[in-house]
Amino acid sequence: MTAGTIAVGDVRAARFRLRLRRIRDFGARLLRRQDGLVGIGILLVFAVLAIAPDLFVGRLQTAVSAEGGRFEAPSAAYLFGTDRIGRDILNLTVHGTRISMLIGLLSTVVTVLLGTVIGIVSGFVGGVLDNVLMRISDFFLVLPTFVLALILAPILLDIFGTSAEVAGMRMTLIVIVVVIGITSWASTARIVRSQTLSLRERAFVDRARVVGAGPTWIMARHILPNVVNLIVANAVLTFAGAVLTETTLSFIGLGDPFQPSWGQLLNQAQSDGAPGLGAWWVILPPGAAIVLVVLAFTLLGSAMDDILNPKLRGRR
């Protein structure tokens, strides 16, 4: 009995070391690639900005705390100029980082979670359930998800109600997260399912079954760890898509004026008439930030995909 415990502990420790080494190995390979390095570099900068925006530009400026003039061009006082109500664009863009990235992150978590669970269950259980789930995912794959998102947002706002906040995020933003999750899980589910299908037939799953492990246990302990590679690369690409979708939804007017994301800033620029006034400084910083972040995630995602899933290259 004592011996057994030690053995299990040893095995665990060994596994942990192995995993650690793999991660370190993976990180080293990622950093050796140009695209991986650039992607990580850009994301690090934005991550720092997102975590502590106050440190760099002070608190989020409001109409009340704004001190600049209307649509001031960039100057020494305001590096990126000011908007219609005199707010510092630099301040707004840096604070927008946190909101855009947070929505992106949460949306990705929701999407990947939904996609992974549905994918694994569908692939592992099979049969009628698989058929139904896959028809549903087919359905979501062909739907014009963006238009669906536009329609879902007011419905969800109606259901969730009004000015509530969840963990400091306003309901409007939570609704965007849910909408992105609902409309974009299908492709993750597809990828995870096909991997699950091949894993299901493998010997170690059979062994687990013979030992008497339940389906939930097998899915969680045997299938999930083996699809993590797929999920991670997929998640990074999903993140890029989520940031794009959030930006577009906010631009159309589903954002929140009190917690401005980059898309919301561009929406305000548009409705304040910045393009016609030639106020390019209101558009450039949030626009460039979006491009950089999406680019970084795309680079990183494809680099990770290349490293983690060499066989799948180019088959997306």
Segment interacting with other proteins (CB under 8 A) among 89-97, 116-124, 229-237, 289-297: 289-297
DSSP bridge partners of 165: 170
Using CA atoms, how far apart are residues 245 and 248, in angstroms rounded to an integer? 5
Assess 291 for contact with other proteins (CB under 8 A).
yes
- Residues numbered 84 to 103 that lie near other proteins (CB under 8 A) are 84-86
Checking 77-81 for CB contacts under 8 A at 24+ apart, the result is 80/281, 80/284, 80/285, 81/279, 81/281, 81/282
Q: Which is nearer to other proteins, 109 or 295 (CB)?
A: 295
Using CA atoms, how far apart are residues 155 and 174, in angstroms rounded to an integer? 13
Using CA atoms, how far apart are residues 172 and 165, in angstroms rounded to an integer? 9
Secondary structure (3-state) at 300: helix
**Binder to other proteins among 109, 114, 213, 283 (CB under 8 A)?**
283
Segment interacting with other proteins (CB under 8 A) among 6-14, 73-81, 114-122, 268-276: 268-276
**Counting beta carbons within 10 angstroms of the beta carbon of residue 283, is it exposed (0 to 12), middle (13 to 18) or buried (19 or more)?**
middle
Q: Which is nearer to other proteins, 57 or 136 (CB)?
A: 136
DSSP state letters, 132-196: HHHHHHHHHHHS-HHHHHHHHHHHHHHHH-SS-EETTEEHHHHHHHHHHHHHH-HHHHHHHHHHH
Smallest gap from Cβ 141 to other proteins, in A, equals: 8
Identity (one letter) of the amino acid at 154?
A: P
**Binder to other proteins among 20, 44, 143, 166 (CB under 8 A)?**
143
Smallest gap from Cβ 82 to other proteins, in A, equals: 12
Hey, what are 138's tokens? 């087919």
Q: Which is nearer to other proteins, 169 or 227 (CB)?
A: 169
Identity (one letter) of the amino acid at 111?
A: T
Question: In Å, how far are 111, 213, 223 from 217, measured between CA atoms?
Answer: 22, 6, 9
Q: Which is nearer to other proteins, 186 or 230 (CB)?
A: 186
Assess 236 for contact with other proteins (CB under 8 A).
no
- Residues numbered 123 to 142 that lie near other proteins (CB under 8 A) are 135, 138-139, 142
Assess 37 for contact with other proteins (CB under 8 A).
no
Smallest gap from Cβ 238 to other proteins, in A, equals: 14
Name the site residues for other proteins (rule: CB under 8 A): 62-64, 70-71, 84-86, 135, 138-139, 142-148, 150-152, 154-155, 157-158, 162-163, 170-172, 240, 244-245, 247-248, 251-253, 256-258, 266, 268-278, 280, 283-284, 287, 290-292, 294-295, 298-299, 313-314
